[in-house]
Amino acid sequence: MTVRASTGTGTGTGTWSAPTRRACEAASRLGLLLDDDALAPPRPDASALTALECGRVALVCGPSGSGKSTLLRAAAAGWRARGVGVFDPSRVRLRDRAGVDHVPGAVEAAMRHLARFGLAEARCFVRRPRELSEGQRARLALAVAADRAARATKRCGATGTDVGARSAPVAVLVVDEFGASLDEACALGVARALRRFVEATTGVCAVVATTRDGVARALAPHVVIELGLTGGRREVRKAGDSGGGDAGGGRGGEVTGGGGGGG
């Protein structure tokens, strides 16, 4: 089978270039045709995420390679274009200081905030990041990102929201590969803490991507987007959600189908 190599630039998020001769040969041996559709980067539809209201949590799930990270990047770009603050724990640069020094303000308030994200031990307050475990560093980064999101809403003068009068968020927490470095019990506890934080903090919403099934139940998201390896997509919106129930949204939920692709 002839293998066609594209020479253009992508129209989705990111760029791509023509395949190498060896890539063409490998594809040919497998009977594949490298055309524009195969090479172009995915064009994810992030509208369900960027329409998220403050006080809400969205979950993006699916196997590795299904496009979760690509969808989160597209959503983050959409929020930034509208002036919404995007706070990503993976981009937090932890300083060579005690854990409690990473959260500004009164020491007692900083300790309460860290404890909320599973860092209630004395050593987590006083040790530096390099002295903590990988999981503890991940929780510290999430706590710092959450604190920055909350402070961003205060600087913007965000007003209170309730179930009957929600508004667009001022700040969004975007957490990819949630719980990857945590054991199951810890991941579930932090998921519940994140949900409570978003509900209690004015002007904030959160989007979480994970491959862990248990996290979905603990997070109790308002919107679930399930991605498949072949580009399939299933979206679940929980109608009248009050903070509990199965994240699958089988009861009282609206299911919509859509395209979307891997990456």
Written out in words, the top-level CATH class of the domain with range 47-258 is: alpha beta
Please report how the helices 107-116 and 134-155 are oriented relative to each other, as an axis angle in degrees rounded to 10. 120
Residue 241, both tokens? 């959600």
From first to last of its 263 residues, the chain has per-residue pLDDT tens of 333 333 333 333 445 567 788 888 888 888 877 665 555 555 678 999 999 999 999 999 988 888 899 999 999 999 999 999 999 999 999 999 999 999 999 999 999 999 999 999 999 999 999 999 999 999 999 999 999 999 999 887 655 443 334 588 999 999 999 989 899 999 999 999 999 999 999 999 999 999 888 888 899 999 999 998 776 788 877 644 443 334 343 333 433 344 444 34
Element (H, E) at 205: strand 204-210
- pLDDT at res. 251: 34
Dihedral sign computed on CA atoms, order 160, 165, 168, 169? positive
For the chain, the structural domain boundaries read: 1-41, 47-258
The runs of H, that is alpha helices, within 30-183 are 36-39, 47-50, 68-81, 107-116, 122-126, 134-155
3-state secondary structure at position 177: coil
What pLDDT, on a 0 to 100 scale, did the predictor assign at position 93?
97
Burial code of 196-234, b = ≥16 C-beta within 10 A, e = fewer? Answer: ebbeebbbbbbbbbbebeebbbbbbbbbbbbbeeeebbb
- What is the residue whose two structure tokens read 């987590």? 124
Residue 53, pLDDT score: 94
